[in-house]
Every structure is written in C-alpha cells, then in structure tokens.
Amino acid sequence: MAPPPKVTITYCAECGYEDETLALARSLMLEFGGSISGIELIPWEGGTFDVSVGGVLVHSMKRDGGFADHGRVKAAVRATLEV
C-alpha cells in the first residue's frame, strides 16, 4: 500500500490568496483527516496557485487558470489513497 500523500499548496503571498489557500486546506482536512500525511502551505510570488498531491501537480493557476477546484483536488487525493 502506498504511503499517505502529502498535499502542497503553493500560493502567491503578494496576491492575497490566503483565503483560497486556507479554504482548500480546511476542506482537505475535513475530508481526509489523518489519511493524508500532511498539508504544506508555501508562500510564493508571481500569481502562483499550485496544488500538488504526492509530488504530482494537480492544479496550476498558470496552466489551468483560476483557483483549484476542491472536488478535483480531492479526487486526486482519493486516487492516491486507492493505489
């Protein structure tokens, strides 16, 4: 069985993305509890809002546009847990 994944949210601290970052982190905490190994929040720059699950980038504001869809991130976490 694969180890529980870590979710990393890299957000633009200059852009005021804290609310979206915390909302996603909270949503993941409530959904997965201790099933994930951790949630790391990384303040960054340049309009970034990237989410990776187990080292795999599942959302990028630059690539996909906008903030991450919570359902899509949760689906990525679930897929990792089911491996």
Partner 1 sequence: MTVSRERFDQGMTYDEYKAQMTRNRETLEANERAVEITDADRRAFSRKVSALVLAEDWCGDVVANLPVLGRLAQDTGNVDVRVFLRDKNLDLMEQYLNQGKFQSIPVFVFFDQANDGWRELGHWIERPASVTEKRREERTKIYASDPRFGSPDAPVDQLSADVRAELQGRLVKMRADTAVWANREVLRELGEIVAR
In the complex, minimum distance from the CB of residue 68 to partner 1, in angstroms, rounded to a whole number: 13
CA atoms of 77 and 56, how far apart (whole Å): 10
For partner 1, which is the closer residue by CB, 40 or 72? Answer: 40
CA atoms of 17 and 26, how far apart (whole Å): 14
Residues 8-67 that bind partner 1 (CB under 8 A): 8, 10, 12, 14-17, 20, 40, 42-47, 50, 52, 55, 57, 65-67
Region of 44 (left: φ > 0; alpha: ψ -120 to 50; beta: rest) is beta
Q: How many residues line the site for partner 1 (CB under 8 A)? A: 22
